[in-house]
Structure 1
Amino acid sequence: MIRFLVVLIVGVLFLPGCGSSEPPTKPAAKPPAAETPAPKPPEPKKEPPKMRSGSATFSKPSSDGADALGDSFFIGDGLRERLKVGRVEPEVQFEVDPARLEANGIRVLAGKHVTLYTDLPSSPEIDELPQVFDAAYPQWCDYFRVDPVASDDWKIKAVLMSNKQPFKDAGLFPDTLPEFLHGYYQGDAIWLLDQPSDYYRRHLIIHEGTHAFMMNLLGGAGPPWYMEGMAEHFGTHRWENGQLETRVMPASKEATPMWGRIKIIQDEVAGGNALSLTRIMGTPQQSFLQNRPYGWCWGACAFLDNHSLSQEAFREMVTQVRLTGGFSERLLSELGDVFPQLAESWELFVTNAEYGYDWQRNEVLYRDPVPFSGDVMTAEISADRGWQSTGILLDANSNFEVSASGQYVIRDDGQEWACEPNGVTIHYVKGKPLGLLVGALRSEPWQGGAITPLVTANEVGLGTSLFPEGPCVLFLKVNESPDQLGDNQGTIQVQIKRVEKK
């Protein structure tokens, strides 16, 4: 049975003030691909993980720089000039002396948009890196709204090192560079330490290349969470037969060795340290000397870029990347009334983060609730979607009985697995039979602010009882891994019957 629980609403919107402008250089040390998780405190078995959040206020930066927020910043003709993105001339980081390259055993690999200098021996995986970078260029242009023809001459330098000393001796490693772990961008160049994973080496050159593209051809990269999150988002890629696809949801750990961002989120949630979207937006630049923020900022950007409620507003922010202070507030203002639903889907993502997570099929399906009338009402639930509202408003004046029927396909591995609402017991997901009909009662209206009841799936199966304690709607789905919904087929017929309280 499912008993409705009243959940108190707490404030969720907090953003610390940001600086007035982004420095022209980015101390973007890449963190190691994996870290040892901290000891995890015990969790109450029946409580969902808590989303950390702050007060319901915004603080505004008080500096007088070009992006400082004044009373009239977001109005007037001057706004367009302050936010106008466009190409800037980057500072030249070093000049190349061919004789010094040869003396230090440094090879040159030329691409259209990058010249790669490396001390690594020739191999297909190394020698194709300029091709990978060039394949990313039109995808950057398309996403960031840059004319690829007008910027066709854009080119940067990339230094890929197994040992820093030869590059220092050849003049390709300025003394002004700070210490960094894996990669660094500045001016017209990027520096990369070699990686033991071919995938992560490509990820790194695309990640740092994204910084260079944004800073050179847009003139800015937004606040730290967006700058690093977008670089990670583009860095998650698929490279097959000379074809590049960026901004993909990694299919598996094996396909993305050393990346590890899904595991960061999984470990943080298991340890009770899940972050709300607004907390992520307040991540300071210095935090990126650790691995943890890369996982959260990748997750936030990938989520906002793929969710139907946020995609348009999020992608429009590419026109305002010259903002640092005010960028996140402006995005949240654009999201407006949909933010409670968006925050709910975010909670569901982080508590169910998995390789291959299907963004579209896991979006919550909302229906305008209709008050319960008569003795019986019905709903239909699709097997190939995540949480779905029944669209039936229940009240606390009655109890209700739910019954479900229907046959659907829950897996197709060459042979279709037929399933009914009680699931198939030859395979389990999160301790419950695969394909089992599960449900949750959610208060109506839902204003957000508290952890959504949808993070807890209660068994419904062929039938259960409901005991509302206030106005609420029953949400249902089949018990399925969030990356395995695509091969499901069919629907479940649900009947909700009023039962008078005794």
Structure 2
Amino acid sequence: MRNRAKTAIRFFVSIVFSPVAFFLAFCFSTVFPADSGIFGSEIRTLEGTYLRLRTDLPSSTEVDGLPAVFDAAVPLWCRFLGINPNRCDGWKMDGCLIGDFERFERAGLVREVPDLRTGFQLNRKLWVLEQASAYYRRHLLLHEGVHGLMAHVFHGLGPPWYAEGCAELLATHTLRDGKLEIGVIPGHRDEVPMWGRIKLIRDDIAAGKGRSLRDVLGLQPGEYDAPNAYAWSWALCVFLEGQPEFTGILGGMTNVLPPGRTTSECAETFNERFYDRIGRDVRSQWEAAWIDFAGRLDYGYDRERARIDDLSPGATRWNGRNHQWRVRPDRGWQNSGLRIQQGDAVRIAAAGRFRLGNRPATWWSEPNGITIRYDRGRPIGELQMTILPGPETSNANTAGDDYSRCPFLNPVSIGTHCEYTAPVGGTLFFRINDSPADLADNDGDVTVSLEKASGNTIPGS
């Protein structure tokens, strides 16, 4: 880190390399004679195809297998970034994994490092300080490797959010039984000791420092002195790769990377082209979807099921007639296709019995929810509604880039019935409340009906 899909929808890529690879890496991680003479007997060299790693750490399967992990990651990075693997022929990073910094200073191996806190990359060289977590050691090594590959192929890294977000995305990984997967959302914090990106985002939001889409795109190099900027850049890249509309957009942006150091003007031009690609006319809707993602982000977040599939304005404008939909419990916000106007008074009713999970036992729920378990302060299983204003709406009270006002994070509790007066016009969305990490084993649906209100309604706020 610098001081300075299973399907086309859910991104991750994986590669399997057998335990034999680790054994061979271990066997060839001997101390080369040249190292003993030049760098001292306490620094040894581990050789891989794409990484030559010098370290003073004791020999172990975990440490000595790092070049094999790095080699396994490179084809996956190439696939994601749209790089022809032939471009990597002859490319190799010189790395230092440092236990005792003074030892590497004496050996003259850190002269080019201005201020090493965790990791650093310069051209074909990288440096990583030893970490208390084997996961985070690998993560930092892969993070700096992504920088090195992008600098080699594209001769530039782009604005900070893109450079660090891609590096974080392609370094966040699982390694189980010889299978490396990158681009994952970790299932539990115990899988990624010292990583902490999700906690940083949660803490920022709780402190009123949640970042909008434009905030992340505007991150400045100096802000990466703190880990929070890395967390937000990672989250944005995960969000983008989880949207079918944006699949491949991060890799596709490499063709507009400015060469060399990215000036503020170059970064602004890059970001403008990014906005062109996501669609300026629906920018406010994507801001709201991004804040829904960041505001509910958790370990095990199910990108395929929790994402909002359709953000388009409802095709039907409500004219007072009755409407009916089915809402599924194994999905996030679901577009009703119906637009209502500010001041419309409606009655919404819901009926149905559905399953929320099956471990350790099946939980059955109705639209009022299960009051022995909560998510975001409301019972799981509760039917909820919100109104997403269209892009033409300019009322500041409906802003999608404010966590305290984002419609998806401030739903109306419907339960089995509710009479409601719309505070703003827009498209109706429904969902059944549950953690975005617990959607996979939900099943069933709820029938939701809407008609003109006949009595007193709950005023929108």
Give the TM-score normalised by structure 1: 0.77
Q: Contact between 1:117 and 1:160, CA under 8 Å: does it hold in 2?
A: yes
Aligned partner of 1:488 in structure 2 is 442
How far residue 415 of structure 1 moved from its aligned partner, in angstroms, is 3.4
How far residue 299 of structure 1 moved from its aligned partner, in angstroms, is 1.2
Q: Contact between 2:158 and 2:258, CA under 8 Å: does it hold in 1?
A: yes
Q: Contact between 2:82 and 2:251, CA under 8 Å: does it hold in 1?
A: no
Q: Distance in 2 between the 1:445 and 1:328 partners?
A: 20
Q: Distance in 2 between the 1:319 and 1:283 partners?
A: 21
Aligned partner of 2:61 in structure 1 is 124
1:253 aligns with 2:186: no
1:331 aligns with 2:274: yes
Q: Distance in 2 between the 1:351 and 1:362 partners?
A: 12
How far residue 449 of structure 1 moved from its aligned partner, in angstroms, is 4.5
1:405 aligns with 2:351: yes
Q: Distance in 2 between the 1:444 and 1:430 partners?
A: 26
Aligned partner of 1:77 in structure 2 is none
User: Could you say what secondary structure the match of 2:347 adopts?
Assistant: strand
1:364 aligns with 2:308: yes
1:167 aligns with 2:87: no
Kindly tell me: are residues 467 and 102 of structure 1, through their superposed partners in 2, closer, same or farther at Cα, counting changes over 3 Å?
A: closer
Q: Contact between 2:325 and 2:448, CA under 8 Å: does it hold in 1?
A: yes
User: Could you say what secondary structure the match of 1:424 adopts?
Assistant: strand
How far residue 322 of structure 1 moved from its aligned partner, in angstroms, is 2.6
Unpaired stretches in structure 1, ≥5 consecutive residues: 1-26, 31-95
Q: Write out aligned runs for 1:83-94 (5 A).
A: none
How far residue 470 of structure 1 moved from its aligned partner, in angstroms, is 4.6
User: Could you say what secondary structure the match of 1:379 adopts?
Assistant: strand
Higher alpha-carbon deviation: 404-413 or 192-201: 404-413
Aligned partner of 1:263 in structure 2 is 199
Q: Contact between 1:383 and 1:489, CA under 8 Å: does it hold in 2?
A: yes
Q: Distance in 2 between the 1:457 and 1:449 partners?
A: 14
Kindly tell me: are residues 390 and 201 of structure 1, through their superposed partners in 2, closer, same or farther at Cα, counting changes over 3 Å?
A: same
How far residue 445 of structure 1 moved from its aligned partner, in angstroms, is 5.6
Unpaired stretches in structure 2, ≥5 consecutive residues: 5-32, 457-461
* CA offsets 1:229-257 (integer angstroms, 9 cap, x no match): 11111111011122211111111111111
Aligned partner of 1:417 in structure 2 is 363
* CA offsets 1:149-189 (integer angstroms, 9 cap, x no match): 34232211110111122222223222x42112011111221
Kindly tell me: are residues 117 and 427 of structure 1, through their superposed partners in 2, closer, same or farther at Cα, counting changes over 3 Å?
A: same
- The residue type paired with residue 190 of structure 1 is L
Q: Write out aligned runs for 1:299-338 (5 A).
A: 299-322=235-258, 324=262, 325=266, 326-336=269-279, 337-338=281-282
- The residue type paired with residue 182 of structure 2 is T
Kindly tell me: are residues 399 and 286 of structure 1, through their superposed partners in 2, closer, same or farther at Cα, counting changes over 3 Å?
A: closer
Aligned partner of 1:212 in structure 2 is 148
How far residue 314 of structure 1 moved from its aligned partner, in angstroms, is 3.3
How far residue 469 of structure 1 moved from its aligned partner, in angstroms, is 4.0
Higher alpha-carbon deviation: 320-329 or 220-229: 320-329
1:294 aligns with 2:230: yes
- The residue type paired with residue 451 of structure 2 is K
* CA offsets 1:62-104 (integer angstroms, 9 cap, x no match): xxxxxxxxxxxxxxxxxxxxxxxxxxxxxxxxxx943335634
Q: Contact between 1:104 and 1:167, CA under 8 Å: does it hold in 2?
A: no
- The residue type paired with residue 449 of structure 2 is Q
Aligned partner of 2:7 in structure 1 is none
Q: Distance in 1 between the 2:252 and 2:224 partners?
A: 25
Q: Contact between 1:405 and 1:492, CA under 8 Å: does it hold in 2?
A: yes
Higher alpha-carbon deviation: 315-324 or 107-116: 315-324
Q: Contact between 2:315 and 2:338, CA under 8 Å: does it hold in 1?
A: yes
Kindly tell me: are residues 313 and 479 of structure 1, through their superposed partners in 2, closer, same or farther at Cα, counting changes over 3 Å?
A: same
Q: Write out aligned runs for 1:30-45 (5 A).
A: none
Q: Distance in 2 between the 1:446 and 1:494 partners?
A: 28
Kindly tell me: are residues 491 and 153 of structure 1, through their superposed partners in 2, closer, same or farther at Cα, counting changes over 3 Å?
A: same
Q: Contact between 2:241 and 2:249, CA under 8 Å: does it hold in 1?
A: no
Question: Please, what is the CA RMSD of the aligned residues?
Answer: 2.2
* CA offsets 1:189-225 (integer angstroms, 9 cap, x no match): 1111100000000000000000111101221111111
Aligned partner of 2:20 in structure 1 is none
1:229 aligns with 2:183: no
Q: Contact between 2:333 and 2:430, CA under 8 Å: does it hold in 1?
A: yes
**Equivalences, count:** 410
How far residue 286 of structure 1 moved from its aligned partner, in angstroms, is 2.1
Aligned partner of 1:21 in structure 2 is none
Q: Write out aligned runs for 1:32-111 (5 A).
A: 97-101=34-38, 103-111=40-48
* CA offsets 1:87-145 (integer angstroms, 9 cap, x no match): xxxxxxxxx94333563411111111111111110111111111110011101111122
1:276 aligns with 2:212: yes
User: Could you say what secondary structure the match of 2:86 adopts?
Assistant: coil
Equivalent in 419, 424, 433 of residue 479 of structure 1: 433
How far residue 259 of structure 1 moved from its aligned partner, in angstroms, is 0.6
Q: Write out aligned runs for 1:147-162 (5 A).
A: 147-162=84-99
- The residue type paired with residue 256 of structure 2 is Q
How far residue 501 of structure 1 moved from its aligned partner, in angstroms, is 6.5
Kindly tell me: are residues 259 and 398 of structure 1, through their superposed partners in 2, closer, same or farther at Cα, counting changes over 3 Å?
A: closer
How far residue 388 of structure 1 moved from its aligned partner, in angstroms, is 1.3
Q: Distance in 2 between the 1:348 and 1:338 partners?
A: 16
Give the TM-score normalised by structure 2: 0.83
Kindly tell me: are residues 102 and 223 of structure 1, through their superposed partners in 2, closer, same or farther at Cα, counting changes over 3 Å?
A: closer
Q: Contact between 1:97 and 1:170, CA under 8 Å: does it hold in 2?
A: no
Q: Contact between 1:406 and 1:492, CA under 8 Å: does it hold in 2?
A: yes
Kindly tell me: are residues 495 and 168 of structure 1, through their superposed partners in 2, closer, same or farther at Cα, counting changes over 3 Å?
A: same
Equivalent in 445, 451, 459 of residue 413 of structure 2: 459
Higher alpha-carbon deviation: 454-463 or 435-444: 435-444
Q: Contact between 2:35 and 2:43, CA under 8 Å: does it hold in 1?
A: no
Higher RCO (C-alpha under 8 Å, 6+ residues apart)? 1
How far residue 439 of structure 1 moved from its aligned partner, in angstroms, is 1.6
